[in-house]
Structure 1
Amino acid sequence: MKMMNRNPKGCNNIGGAIAANMEYCRGAAMHLFSLYGYHPFSPAEFQLVEDVWSKISPARARRLIPMMSPLGEPCVLRGDLTLSAVAYLGSHHARSERPLRLSYADRVFAVPLPPKYNLEENQVGVELIGWEDSGADAETAGLLLRTLDLLSIERSALVLGDVSVLAGILGGLPESCAGKLIEALQERAYTKYNALLDGFELSEDKTRLLRRLPTLKGDVAVLGEAMGLFDDPSVLMPLKRLCDSLCKLGYAERLRVDLSFVRDLGYYSGPIYNAYSAADGVLLGGGGRYDGLLAKEGIEGQAAGFALNLKELAAHCASPAPAPLMMLWGGGCDNSEALRYADALSKKDTAFELSWTKDREESLSTASLRGYKWWIDLGGRKVTLLPRGGEISLNKFESEVLSC
C-alpha cells in the first residue's frame, strides 16, 4: 500500500539533495557570519499581534498568518525575523552594549503573493543593530555578496536603491497620493504611475523629477546623472558611498542602481538592495538600512541587515553539500570495531554511511542503489568497487584513495 504524503496547501516537506544543500548553505553562511562577529539568535515562532501590526506596512500586515496562543493571546506566526531581533535588543541589551551583531537561520511565514504559493520560507541572514557609521552599510551588503561568493553563486547581481531619496521627493504630498505612487512603483506598473502623476497637482520641477525616477537605473554611473537632477544631491550620498565601497571591493560588475526601487518607507530609511541570480533572474534575498523600525520600537540609533532565501541558495549553489561515496558494512565484525573505523573517517571529514544488516548481499545491493562508489567489508577488510564489482584490499584503498 502506498502511503500518502499530504501537506497543507502552501507547505512542503523538503528532503533529498535540496535539503542537504540547504543545510550546507546554512552551515557555510552561519560560519562566515561568526567570523565577522555575528552571534546566533533563535527567535520565538509566535509574535504578538500588538508588537507587529503597527510596525510594518498595511500590505505586509495583511499577509501575516493570525493564530491564538494556548494562553489566549492574539498572535501571528513569525512573519519578520528583523522585528524579533530588534525586540530582543530592546529587552536584553543596554545602550552601552551596542552595536549588536546577530545572525539567524530560521523560517518566516506569510500568505504568498502570486506566482509564489509557499506559506513558509527558510531564511539565513544578519542584523547589525546600533552601528556607528556608514561602514556598516558596506559591511552588511558586502557580507551578502561574500556569502554568495562562498557558495559559488558568483553569477549574481545586487540591485540598490535608497528609500530616503523617494521619501524626500514625496515629502509634502498628501499621504494618499504618495501611497498610490509608491504602490505603483512596487508593482512596476509604470503606465499606472504616470497616469497618477497626470492626475496630481504638483510643481513642474517635482513632476519632472518623479517622471524621470523610473528611468534612473543602470550601473553605478547612474548616480552621477541623478545628482544633476536634484536640488540637494547630498540625499544620494549614502547610496553613493555604499556603491563606492562595493566597487573598491571588486563588485562593480555585479551592481545595478535603481532609484525607483522602494520598500516600506516607515520601516526602511536608507540604502536598500536585492540580490538576484544572473542566470535566471530569481530573487535570492535582500536587505538594507532600517532605522525607521528602530524608532518604532522606541530605540534610538541605526541598523542594517539582510536575509537570503535558503532554498534558492541551495538551488543555485555551485558547491553542493558533499554526499557520502562509500558504505561501511559492519555486519561482518563487532559493532564497536565498525564504529571506531567510522569515527576515524569522520575525523578526516570523510562522508560515509554505515550498514548493519547481517546479509552481505543486501548491504551491497543497497550501496548500489544509493549510487556509492565503494562498499567496504570492515570484517573482511575488503573494498568492492561499485558499480563494476572489482575488489581491492582495505589497506590498498586507504593508501591510494583515503590518503589523497
Structure 2
Amino acid sequence: MTDALFKLPAGVTYILGPEARRRRAIEHLVLETFHGWSYEEILLPVYDAYALFAHSAGAHSAGAVYCFTDVAGEVLALRTDLTSLVARTVAMRCQNWPRPIRLCYVGEVFRNAQPARHPMDASWQLGAELFGNDRLEADVEVLLVALEALERLGLTQAQVSLGHAGLLDGIAAELALSPVKRDELRNLVDRRQTSALARWLQEQPAPAHWQDVLMSHGQTAALRRIRAQTDNPQIRSALDDIEHVFDVAAALDIADRLTFDAANVSQLGYYTGMTFHLYAPGSGVALGSGGRYDALTRLFGVDEPAVGFQLSLDRLVQITDALPLPIPPTTALDADGDDLTTAFRQARQCRRAGERVEIRTARHSFPPER
C-alpha cells in the first residue's frame, strides 16, 4: 500500500473529540455575540473565481492562492479571504436591502504561504461586516462587537492596536510612488523591518521624518507628534479618525485598552480607513484584525462603504485552552443482555429532557490490527 495514503499534506489537520467540542463552543459564543448586535449569518462557498481573490486582496496575496480549473477551463481558487466574498454578495444580491447591512460568518480560508510566517495553510475565521455606513459610529461598533466577543470568551483585557490606511497612502502620495513601490513600502512597514525601511526611503529619496511617522506608536501624544510633522491632508484626516475613536473609547472607559500604531497596516490591499489588530494581554500574536474598506465593492460596480473584522478561531482555541469547557453531565445506560428495549427507551426519555447519554456494554470492540 502506498505511503501517500498515510501522509498528511502540508497544512491539513483533523480535529477530534474535546478539541472539536471546544471549537464549536467558541463558535457558538462568538456567533451569539454577533447575532446580539443584529448581524445575520451568511454561508459562503469554499471556492470561487481566481480573479476575485487576485483583484481584491492585491498582488502580494494573489501568489498565495491554491488554484485549479473546472471542466470548462475556468480558473478557480480556494478562498483566501472571506471579506471579498461577502462584499461581492452585498454588491450583487443586496442592492434593495435597507442599509446598513450587517453580516457575519464562520469558515475556513486557505493560503499557500511560506511556513516560516504562516505555519498553517488552512485556518478558520469568525467575522462580521457592516455595509452602508461611512461614519464613525460604524467603526466604533465593530470594535465593540469584537471586544465583546473576546470578553465572552474570558478575554476581558484584550487590547486593540489601531492604525489607518490613510497614513501610508498619504506618504505614498507625497512620494509619488507607483503601485509596485507602494506595495514594497506596505510590506516593509507590515514586517517592521526598520533598517530595510530606512534604506528604502533613502533610495526614493524621502525626507527622514517619514520613517518616524511610519514607526510611531502610543496614544494621543503619538498622534500629535505626527500632526506636527506634516500638512498632508490625507494623513491629517487619518489622524482625525483615530483621535475620534480615542475620544469615544475614553467616554466608554476603555481607552486604556486601545493603542495607536502607525505600522498597523495589512497585506490585504483593500483597506481605506481605520485598521486594527486584537491581542490578548502579554501576547504578540494577533487574535484578529479588521478595518474600513470603502473601495472593495467598487470592484463589482457598486460604491458601498464598509467596515468589519475577523477573529482567528485557531488562535482563540489556543489562547482559551485553560477556560472550562461546557460539557453537560452524561447519563450512562447499560445495554447488556438480550433485551435492549429498556436501555433505549430510557435513552430516548433522557434525550427528550435534553440530557447527554452514553450507551454502555460489557462487550467491547477494538480496531483491527495493522
Q: Same fold (TM over 0.5)?
A: yes
Cα distance in 2 for residues equivalent to 1:253 and 1:5 = 50
Which residues of 2 match residues 185-204 of structure 1 at below 5 A?
A: 185-202=189-206
Of residues 139-148 and 9-18 in structure 1, the stretch that sits farther from structure 2 once superposed is 9-18
Query: Which whole-Å deviations, capped at 9, do the CAs of 1:229-285 have from their partners, x for residues lacking one?
Result: 232433311122223223333322221211122225741000001112223322211
Query: Which whole-Å deviations, capped at 9, do the CAs of 1:39-68 have from their partners, x for residues lacking one?
Result: 110111111022232222111000011012
Note if contact 1:148-1:154 (Cα within 8 Å) is conserved in structure 2: yes
The CA deviation at 1:130 is 1.5
The CA deviation at 1:319 is 3.6
**How many residues end up aligned between the 2 structures?**
350
Question: 1:322 and 2:331 equivalent?
Answer: no
Q: 1:152 maps to what in 2?
A: 154
Q: 1:229 maps to what in 2?
A: 229
Query: Which whole-Å deviations, capped at 9, do the CAs of 1:354-380 have from their partners, x for residues lacking one?
Result: 1242x3x97xxxxxxxxxxxxxxxxxx
Q: 2:344 maps to what in 1?
A: 335
- Tell me, which stretches of 5 or more residues in structure 1 are unaligned? 363-404
The CA deviation at 1:141 is 1.3
Note if contact 2:57-2:268 (Cα within 8 Å) is conserved in structure 1: no
Cα distance in 2 for residues equivalent to 1:210 and 1:196 = 11
Note if contact 2:129-2:309 (Cα within 8 Å) is conserved in structure 1: yes
Which residues of 2 match residues 5-404 of structure 1 at below 5 A?
A: 6-95=7-96, 97-113=98-114, 114-172=116-174, 173-175=176-178, 176-202=180-206, 207-231=207-231, 232=233, 233-264=236-267, 266-317=269-320, 319-331=323-335, 333-344=342-353, 346=354, 352-357=356-361, 359=362
Query: Which whole-Å deviations, capped at 9, do the CAs of 1:117-141 have from their partners, x for residues lacking one?
Result: 2211111011111125210000111
Q: How has the CA–CA distance of structure 1 residues 227 and 63 changed in structure 2, closer, same or farther, with 3 Å as cutoff?
A: same
User: Match of 2:224, as an amino acid?
Assistant: G
Quote the sequence identity (%): 24
Of residues 130-139 and 95-104 in structure 1, the stretch that sits farther from structure 2 once superposed is 95-104
Cα distance in 2 for residues equivalent to 1:301 and 1:115 = 33
Note if contact 1:266-1:293 (Cα within 8 Å) is conserved in structure 2: no
Cα distance in 2 for residues equivalent to 1:136 and 1:324 = 38
Note if contact 1:266-1:292 (Cα within 8 Å) is conserved in structure 2: no
Tell me the C-alpha RMSD between the 2 structures. 2.4
- When normalised by structure 1's length, the TM-score is 0.80
Query: Which whole-Å deviations, capped at 9, do the CAs of 1:130-163 have from their partners, x for residues lacking one?
Result: 1252100001111111111110122432111001
- The 3-state SS of whatever aligns with 2:229 is coil
Note if contact 1:167-1:265 (Cα within 8 Å) is conserved in structure 2: no
- Tell me, which stretches of 5 or more residues in structure 2 are unaligned? 337-341, 365-370
User: Match of 1:212, as an amino acid?
Assistant: D
Larger Rg: 1
The CA deviation at 1:180 is 2.6
Cα distance in 2 for residues equivalent to 1:23 and 1:210 = 45
- The 3-state SS of whatever aligns with 1:75 is strand
Cα distance in 2 for residues equivalent to 1:210 and 1:153 = 36
The CA deviation at 1:19 is 1.8
Cα distance in 2 for residues equivalent to 1:78 and 1:237 = 35
Query: Which whole-Å deviations, capped at 9, do the CAs of 1:289-311 have from their partners, x for residues lacking one?
Result: 01121222221121001111112
Cα distance in 2 for residues equivalent to 1:257 and 1:117 = 28
The CA deviation at 1:225 is 2.8
Q: How has the CA–CA distance of structure 1 residues 300 and 145 changed in structure 2, closer, same or farther, with 3 Å as cutoff?
A: same
